[in-house]
Structure 1
Amino acid sequence: MSNKIIRLPAVKDKTGLSRSSIYLRMSKGEFPQNISLGGRAVGWVEEDINEWLEQCIAKGK
Protein backbone atom coordinates (compact mmCIF):
# COMPACT_ATOMS: atom_id res chain seq x y z
CA MET A 1 0.00 0.00 0.00
CA SER A 2 1.30 3.39 -0.94
CA ASN A 3 1.03 6.19 1.59
CA LYS A 4 1.33 9.03 -0.87
CA ILE A 5 0.23 12.35 0.60
CA ILE A 6 -1.62 14.75 -1.66
CA ARG A 7 -2.30 18.41 -1.02
CA LEU A 8 -5.57 20.32 -1.31
CA PRO A 9 -5.32 21.26 -5.02
CA ALA A 10 -4.92 17.57 -5.93
CA VAL A 11 -7.82 16.59 -3.65
CA LYS A 12 -10.01 19.22 -5.29
CA ASP A 13 -9.03 17.95 -8.76
CA LYS A 14 -9.71 14.30 -7.85
CA THR A 15 -13.06 14.92 -6.16
CA GLY A 16 -14.44 17.92 -8.00
CA LEU A 17 -15.29 19.48 -4.65
CA SER A 18 -14.47 23.00 -3.53
CA ARG A 19 -12.28 23.74 -0.51
CA SER A 20 -15.30 24.73 1.57
CA SER A 21 -17.20 21.56 0.61
CA ILE A 22 -14.23 19.39 1.58
CA TYR A 23 -13.88 21.01 5.01
CA LEU A 24 -17.65 20.98 5.62
CA ARG A 25 -17.82 17.26 4.82
CA MET A 26 -14.78 16.63 7.03
CA SER A 27 -16.50 18.39 9.94
CA LYS A 28 -19.56 16.15 9.44
CA GLY A 29 -17.42 13.01 9.27
CA GLU A 30 -18.35 12.47 5.61
CA PHE A 31 -14.88 12.93 4.14
CA PRO A 32 -11.42 11.61 5.05
CA GLN A 33 -9.58 13.69 7.63
CA ASN A 34 -6.45 15.54 6.66
CA ILE A 35 -3.13 15.07 8.41
CA SER A 36 -0.73 17.72 9.60
CA LEU A 37 2.49 18.02 7.65
CA GLY A 38 3.92 20.60 10.02
CA GLY A 39 3.36 24.31 10.37
CA ARG A 40 0.27 25.28 8.43
CA ALA A 41 0.60 22.50 5.84
CA VAL A 42 -1.90 19.65 5.63
CA GLY A 43 -2.45 16.80 3.23
CA TRP A 44 -4.57 13.72 2.68
CA VAL A 45 -3.57 10.09 2.23
CA GLU A 46 -4.29 9.47 -1.45
CA GLU A 47 -5.61 5.96 -0.78
CA ASP A 48 -8.21 7.40 1.66
CA ILE A 49 -9.44 9.78 -1.04
CA ASN A 50 -9.55 6.96 -3.62
CA GLU A 51 -11.59 4.76 -1.24
CA TRP A 52 -13.98 7.63 -0.54
CA LEU A 53 -14.49 8.14 -4.29
CA GLU A 54 -15.15 4.41 -4.80
CA GLN A 55 -17.78 4.49 -2.05
CA CYS A 56 -19.47 7.50 -3.67
CA ILE A 57 -19.53 5.73 -7.03
CA ALA A 58 -20.94 2.56 -5.44
CA LYS A 59 -23.72 4.55 -3.71
CA GLY A 60 -24.65 6.17 -7.01
CA LYS A 61 -25.24 2.88 -8.82
Structure 2
Amino acid sequence: MNLEPGNRNRGIAMLLIKGVIVMRILSKKALKELVLYSPQHIARLEKEGKFPKRVQLGSNRVGWVEGEVLDWLEERLLARE
Protein backbone atom coordinates (compact mmCIF):
# COMPACT_ATOMS: atom_id res chain seq x y z
CA MET A 1 0.00 0.00 0.00
CA ASN A 2 1.38 3.39 -0.99
CA LEU A 3 -0.11 6.88 -1.08
CA GLU A 4 1.55 8.83 -3.85
CA PRO A 5 2.89 12.01 -2.19
CA GLY A 6 3.06 14.07 -5.39
CA ASN A 7 -0.71 14.56 -5.41
CA ARG A 8 -1.11 16.05 -1.94
CA ASN A 9 -1.13 19.59 -3.32
CA ARG A 10 -4.06 18.78 -5.62
CA GLY A 11 -6.14 17.31 -2.79
CA ILE A 12 -6.08 13.79 -4.20
CA ALA A 13 -4.40 10.80 -2.58
CA MET A 14 -3.82 7.67 -4.63
CA LEU A 15 -3.68 4.18 -3.25
CA LEU A 16 -1.12 2.26 -5.29
CA ILE A 17 -0.62 -1.48 -5.13
CA LYS A 18 2.23 -2.84 -7.23
CA GLY A 19 2.25 0.37 -9.29
CA VAL A 20 -1.47 0.19 -10.15
CA ILE A 21 -3.85 2.91 -8.99
CA VAL A 22 -6.51 1.10 -6.98
CA MET A 23 -8.35 4.03 -5.44
CA ARG A 24 -8.20 7.80 -5.32
CA ILE A 25 -9.41 9.77 -2.31
CA LEU A 26 -10.62 13.35 -2.78
CA SER A 27 -10.05 16.06 -0.17
CA LYS A 28 -12.81 18.52 0.76
CA LYS A 29 -11.24 21.08 -1.57
CA ALA A 30 -10.99 18.66 -4.51
CA LEU A 31 -14.56 17.50 -3.88
CA LYS A 32 -15.88 21.06 -3.88
CA GLU A 33 -14.12 21.76 -7.20
CA LEU A 34 -15.66 18.63 -8.72
CA VAL A 35 -19.20 18.84 -7.32
CA LEU A 36 -19.63 22.62 -6.88
CA TYR A 37 -21.73 22.25 -3.71
CA SER A 38 -20.98 23.88 -0.37
CA PRO A 39 -19.61 21.63 2.39
CA GLN A 40 -22.87 22.15 4.32
CA HIS A 41 -25.00 20.96 1.40
CA ILE A 42 -22.76 17.93 0.86
CA ALA A 43 -23.12 17.06 4.55
CA ARG A 44 -26.93 17.33 4.28
CA LEU A 45 -26.98 15.07 1.21
CA GLU A 46 -24.73 12.53 2.96
CA LYS A 47 -27.02 12.50 6.01
CA GLU A 48 -30.03 11.88 3.74
CA GLY A 49 -28.20 9.04 1.95
CA LYS A 50 -28.18 11.01 -1.32
CA PHE A 51 -24.40 11.43 -1.64
CA PRO A 52 -21.45 9.06 -1.15
CA LYS A 53 -20.36 8.88 2.47
CA ARG A 54 -17.05 10.35 3.53
CA VAL A 55 -14.17 8.20 4.74
CA GLN A 56 -12.57 9.10 8.07
CA LEU A 57 -8.84 9.08 7.28
CA GLY A 58 -7.60 10.42 10.60
CA SER A 59 -8.84 12.30 13.62
CA ASN A 60 -9.10 15.56 11.64
CA ARG A 61 -9.11 14.41 8.01
CA VAL A 62 -11.86 13.05 5.78
CA GLY A 63 -12.02 12.20 2.10
CA TRP A 64 -14.36 10.78 -0.51
CA VAL A 65 -13.73 7.84 -2.85
CA GLU A 66 -13.39 9.43 -6.28
CA GLY A 67 -15.10 6.55 -8.09
CA GLU A 68 -18.19 6.83 -5.89
CA VAL A 69 -18.41 10.59 -6.47
CA LEU A 70 -17.97 10.17 -10.23
CA ASP A 71 -20.73 7.52 -10.24
CA TRP A 72 -22.99 9.95 -8.36
CA LEU A 73 -22.27 12.66 -10.95
CA GLU A 74 -22.91 10.24 -13.80
CA GLU A 75 -26.33 9.39 -12.34
CA ARG A 76 -27.22 13.09 -12.48
CA LEU A 77 -26.03 13.38 -16.06
CA LEU A 78 -28.08 10.36 -17.13
CA ALA A 79 -31.16 11.65 -15.29
CA ARG A 80 -31.27 14.76 -17.50
CA GLU A 81 -31.64 12.77 -20.71
Q: Same fold (TM over 0.5)?
A: yes
Q: Which runs of 5+ in 1 are unaligned?
A: none
What is the deviation of 1:58? 0.7
Q: Which structure carries more relative contact order (alpha carbon 8 Å, separation 6+)? A: 1
Specify which structure has the higher proportion of strand.
Answer: 2
* Residue segments in structure 2 that go unaligned for 5+ positions in a row: 1-20
Identity rate of aligned residues, in percent?
A: 30
Larger Rg: 2
| TM-score of the two chains, using structure 2 as the length reference | 0.71
1:22 aligns with 2:42: yes
- The count of residues paired between Structure 1 and Structure 2 equals 61
Structure 1 ranges of 4+ moved more than 4 A: none
* Greater helix content: 1
RMSD over equivalenced CA pairs, Å: 1.1
